[in-house]
Amino acid sequence: MTRSSTLLPSPPVRAMHPRTLTRTSLRPKPLRFLGTLTAFLLSAHASPDLLAAPGDAPVPPESCEALVPGTPLPYPNPIAPERLTFPPDTTEVDLVILGHSENRGFDPYLQDLLDADPPLPGIQFRVTNRFRGGTLAWQWATPGQRGHSIIQQVLQDFGSAPLVVLGLFTNNTRFPIQTISEENANYNRFLDNLDTITDLVHDSGNGAQMIYLSAHRYKVTNEVPSWNENLAMEAVMNNAAAAGKSYVKPGPDQHDLHRCCFPACFATDRIHTNAAGDQLMAEAWYRFLVREMTGSAAVPYGSGTRGFGGTLPAIQPRGKAPRLGNLEFALRTVGAVPFANVGYFFGFEPTSSAPPLMVIPQSLKTGVAGLDGIHDLSLPVPERPQLEGMVIYVQSIMRDPAAPGGFAASQGLELRLGW
């Protein structure tokens, strides 16, 4: 791995030459690199990967390396506020976890992350886990059932401070969704159950200020129903918007994160989380909450171009979120060939076309990958108020003689700068 270092500048960004390695024979040739790169981008090489045919079965992520923990499920509620805000005199916020046994162990890790680096200064975030193993969504929505009783108890126990609910519910062990269809009774039941749960928890404005709904993690023993509960979240959010529920939003994706960490993040039953899985869930919720409260996030988009051996490079955020004043923020490129020239293209608009280029470039920074095919670019974010709300798009493209056109490329990454 090699590393470059530069401050995040105000636009436009000045192109920089790559750092050279110690071995003279491995020194990059930036002029040759940039010339052939330009030819590649103007050519028809490196067509995008074909998309999988639509269907109910879950499709593996194109690149696990491109996943960013904390990325929301891709089904927004259009009437929900972009930011989660609290009254100016707020000093405490309660985060209550509700749902079945998938939620059982990540709360202490989430609390540690919030204590170490609170999303909002001056506010203490208190995490309470009220999950109940084996309690399905219909039992949270039905009076007299144990989940419903837990909701009633939560409404009694909390209220002195703003309440935010982190929910992940399922019906798939009793009412599995085999197909996404309005004619499917289990699908309709799941939608109705979540609609009722959000009403109960919100309590006409007396309960939770915001309810975030994540969806089922990857589950090898019933892949299709678990995945379909993720797909059902689109209708859940559409229904919430139609009903005027601005207090319901999608939570972070957990399904693909855990599919990419199977079986390392799973207990011996290959269903529930182990400690690594709990930490992954906590990281996803933490990064998601930072995004919701500060507006800062790194969001992957688009598709890359495969290189040597079919490897799909990826660009990743490093050093927490791109918040103003975060001097540790960095970008990492993985999946390059050893000692490849790497170019980082920055711009303020994504392209609307297919790969290879995913950003309309306005500046370029270059570097050289290490023997492991990894390159780090230090990108400290200055604490400048005028940068708040700025959105920057970036993609890394690297020399790869074995790739079509001689270059491979990462997916795009959208950087949202916030406090």
Residues of the chain with CATH 2.20.130.20: 2-47+303-416
pLDDT score for 48 = 36
Band of residue 192 on the pLDDT scale cut at 50, 70, 90: very high
Does position 29 have pLDDT exceeding 50, yes or no?
no
pLDDT score for 2 = 64
**Is 90 in contact with 124 (CB distance < 8 Å)?**
no
Per-residue H/E/C for the chain: CEEEECCCCCCCCCCECCCCCCCHHHCCCHHHHHHHHHHHHHCCCCCCCCCCCCCCCCCCCCCHHHCCCCCECCCCCCCCCCCCCCCCCCCEEEEEEEECHHHCCCHHHHHHHHHHCCCCCCCEEEEEECCCCCCCHHHHHCCCCHHHHHHHHHHHHCCCCCEEEEEECCCCCCCCCCCCCCCCHHHHHHHHHHHHHHHHHHHHHCCCCEEEECCCCCCHHHHHHHHHHHHCHHHHHHHHHHCCCCCEEECECCHHHHHCCCCCCECCCCCCECHHHHHHHHHHHHHHHHHHHHCCEEEEECCCECCHHHCCCEEEEECCCCECCCCCCEEEEECCCCCCEEEEEEECCECCCCCCCCECCCEEEEEECCCCCCEEEECCCCCCHHHCCCEEEEEEEEECCCCHHHEEECCEEEEECEC
Of the given ranges (22-31, 102-111, 140-149, 293-302), which has the lowest mean pLDDT?
22-31
pTM of the model: 0.86
* Mean of the per-residue pLDDT values of the chain: 88
Mean pLDDT in residue range 59-74: 92
Mean pLDDT in residue range 296-325: 93
pLDDT digits (tens, 9 = 90+) for 358-398: 999 999 999 999 999 999 999 999 999 999 999 999 999 99
pLDDT digits (tens, 9 = 90+) for 247-270: 999 999 999 999 999 999 999 999
CATH number of 64-294: 3.40.50.1110
The residue ranking higher by pLDDT, 355 or 122, is 122
Q: Of how many residues is the chain composed?
A: 419
Residues of the chain with CATH 3.40.50.1110: 64-294
Rounded to the nearest 10 degrees, how much is the dihedral formed by the CA atoms of 35, 41, 46, 51?
150
Does position 114 have pLDDT exceeding 70, yes or no?
yes
Task: State how far the Cα of 109 lies from the Cα of 249, in Å rounded to an integer.
Answer: 23
Mean pLDDT in residue range 164-176: 97
Give the CA distances from residue 266 to residues 167, 197, 206, 301, 376, in Å, rounded to whole numbers and listed in that order.
20, 28, 37, 27, 30
Mean pLDDT in residue range 193-207: 98
Does position 215 have pLDDT exceeding 60, yes or no?
yes
CATH for 2-47+303-416 (3.40.50.10210, 3.10.28.10, 2.20.130.20, 3.30.450.20): 2.20.130.20
Does position 119 have pLDDT exceeding 80, yes or no?
yes
pLDDT digits (tens, 9 = 90+) for 141-166: 999 999 999 999 999 999 889 999 99
